[in-house]
């Protein structure tokens, strides 16, 4: 039932949409104890409450394949975390007899590769605290390694349609081929990781470890004890998680089986584990992110139903802003990703993708929205996770420190992407 006067629901839906995206910009709403997820959920409740959408319409607005794919890969990543995989990998990296520049290269390569298959946020959450402690024990400045982890996880996650939430959304909504996207994205991602290493390693080319600290000049690094809440390495459970993940990638590459269904079946198989109780796996699911997706789907659909989305597109076209133009879409994606963060930005821009340009526009959206997240700490959840983990270890990475790395890395990777898209398109 709609209690508003004729046309009033359109105005109210527009106001709700504006408040929700103001919350995306600010990370909450002034005077209220809400984060971005709370704002999106409250916005979804509000548009149903004022009659902008019926409950049935709100349910239909949620793009279920995206939510299921995201949920399923959260369970796969949870399996890897409980198996101690990420901690074991980090300890092995930290124990390699390499100098600072060599260690940076390994961190970038490993975190970039892992983030292409597993969630970049999960990779950073599991690796960052172990890496910080390992660097401190080696006498290596942990800040460059932690910045390398954050930036490389963002860059590496752009390589596939399962590397991060916004890529999953783009791939599912535009029905992109996993293999075709990988072919388009792999070159700029690899060049971006190489550029990241060059920008971080160049200032460290003459740096050595502090005297008396092993692990850099050939001797093994001092063993790092397990943290209190860190799971011990379980070879069988790790092998199981890796086998499921690799099998899913093969399914995505070589079959037409819907990605959400295949991933859901794989997650179901992991829930059959005799080693980990299902409650432990489900406890590691990022329910907040799933609720954020649901809330934004509902709010954005309410705006579309009201007709305001079409009016906004028409107004932009009259002002000379052609979102079908590659350079314009590139600039808008970069701007909005740093303004409201990448997932909301992608949701706003997806309706502007013209028919027949799904792969080209989807690749642009995925690459630019992800790479733009390296500019500021708040531009990516992965950045925030690394900075928080560093602070708990006594390592301070403030916004200026991050920006000194984030700005050139973002500029270099976006330039590489722009040139690649111009050449390949």
Three-state SS sequence of 347-415: HHHHHHCCCCCHHHHHHHHHHHHHHHHHCCHHHCHHHHHHHHHHHHCCCCCCHHHHHHHHHHHHHHHHH
Residue 209 scores a pLDDT above 50 = no
Mean pLDDT computed over 138-151: 91
* Domain membership of residue 380 as a residue range: 8-205+214-424
% residues pLDDT > 90 (the chain):
51
Residue 292 scores a pLDDT above 50 = yes
More confident residue, 92 or 60: 60
| 303 contacts 13 by C-beta, under 8 angstroms | yes
Find all residues with CB under 8 Å of 78, minimum gap 6, and list them: 280, 281, 282, 284, 285
Give the 3-state secondary structure of residue 230.
coil
2 within a domain of the structure (yes/no): no
Mean pLDDT computed over 271-288: 85
Q: pLDDT band for position 96 (50/70/90)?
A: confident
Lowest mean pLDDT among 250-259, 277-286, 295-304: 277-286
d(CA 169, CA 324): 19
Residue 219 scores a pLDDT above 50 = no
CA distances from 208 to 141, 183, 396 (A): 10, 39, 21
Say what the pLDDT of residue 214 is. 38
| 380 contacts 374 by C-beta, under 8 angstroms | yes
Say what the pLDDT of residue 159 is. 96
340 within a domain of the structure (yes/no): yes
Q: Scan for tokens 């708040």, then name that residue.
A: 378
334-363 pLDDT, tens digit per residue, is 998 888 888 888 998 998 888 777 889 999
Say what the pLDDT of residue 217 is. 39
Residue 212 scores a pLDDT above 70 = no
272 within a domain of the structure (yes/no): yes
3 within a domain of the structure (yes/no): no
| 101 contacts 203 by C-beta, under 8 angstroms | no
Q: pLDDT band for position 220 (50/70/90)?
A: very low
d(CA 2, CA 59): 18
More confident residue, 215 or 145: 145
Say what the pLDDT of residue 322 is. 82
Q: pLDDT band for position 206 (50/70/90)?
A: low
d(CA 238, CA 78): 11
Q: pLDDT band for position 228 (50/70/90)?
A: low
177 within a domain of the structure (yes/no): yes
Q: pLDDT band for position 215 (50/70/90)?
A: very low
Residue 260 scores a pLDDT above 80 = yes
Residue 411 scores a pLDDT above 50 = yes
| 189 contacts 156 by C-beta, under 8 angstroms | yes
Give the 3-state secondary structure of residue 187.
helix
Which of 20, 147, 84 has its CA nearest to residue 409? Answer: 147
Say what the pLDDT of residue 352 is. 86
Which of 249, 222, 91, 224 has its CA nearest to residue 162? Answer: 249
Residue 204 scores a pLDDT above 50 = yes
| Per-chain mean pLDDT for the chain | 87
Mean pLDDT computed over 252-275: 90
1 within a domain of the structure (yes/no): no
Say what the pLDDT of residue 358 is. 80
Specify the number of domains making up the chain. Answer: 1
């Amino acid at each position: 039932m709609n209690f508003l006067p004729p046309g009033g629901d359109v105005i109210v839906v527009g106001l709700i949409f504006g408040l929700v995206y103001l919350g995306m910009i600010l990370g909450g709403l002034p005077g209220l104890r809400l984060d971005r997820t709370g704002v999106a959920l409250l916005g979804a409740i509000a548009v149903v409450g004022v009659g902008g959408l019926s409950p049935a319409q709100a349910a239909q607005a949620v793009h279920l394949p995206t939510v299921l794919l995201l949920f399923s890969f959260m369970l796969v990543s949870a399996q890897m975390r409980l198996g101690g995989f990420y901690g074991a990998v980090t300890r092995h990296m930290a124990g390699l007899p390499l100098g600072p520049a060599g260690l940076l290269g390994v961190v970038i390569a490993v975190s970039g590769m892992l983030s292409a298959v597993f969630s970049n946020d999960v990779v950073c959450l599991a690796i960052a605290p172990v890496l910080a402690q390992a660097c401190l024990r080696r006498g290596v400045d942990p800040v460059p390694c932690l910045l390398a982890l954050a930036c490389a996880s963002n860059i590496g996650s752009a390589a596939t349609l399962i590397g991060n939430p916004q890529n999953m959304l783009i791939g599912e909504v535009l029905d992109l081929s996993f293999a075709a996207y990988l072919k388009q994205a792999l070159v700029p991602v690899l060049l971006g990781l190489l550029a990241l290493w060059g920008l971080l390693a160049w200032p460290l080319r003459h740096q050595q470890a502090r005297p008396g600290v092993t692990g850099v000049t050939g001797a093994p690094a001092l063993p790092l004890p397990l943290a209190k809440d860190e799971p011990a390495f379980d070879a069988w459970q790790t092998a199981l998680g890796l086998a499921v993940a690799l099998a899913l990638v093969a399914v995505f590459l070589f079959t037409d089986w819907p990605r959400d269904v295949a991933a859901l079946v794989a997650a179901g198989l992991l829930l059959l584990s005799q080693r980990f109780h299902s409650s432990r796996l489900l406890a590691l699911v990022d329910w907040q992110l799933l609720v954020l997706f649901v809330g934004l789907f509902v709010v954005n659909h309410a705006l579309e139903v009201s007709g305001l989305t079409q009016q906004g597109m028409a107004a932009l076209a009259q002002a000379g802003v052609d979102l079908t133009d590659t350079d314009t879409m590139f600039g808008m994606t970069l701007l909005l990703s740093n303004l409201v963060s990448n997932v909301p930005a992608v949701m706003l821009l997806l309706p502007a993708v013209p028919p027949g340009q799904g792969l080209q526009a989807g690749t642009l959206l995925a690459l630019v929205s992800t790479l733009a997240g390296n500019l500021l700490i708040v531009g990516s959840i992965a950045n925030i996770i690394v900075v928080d983990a560093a602070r708990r270890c006594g390592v301070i990475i403030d916004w200026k420190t991050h920006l000194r790395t984030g700005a050139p890395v973002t500029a270099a990777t976006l330039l590489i992407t722009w040139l690649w898209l111009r050449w390949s398109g």
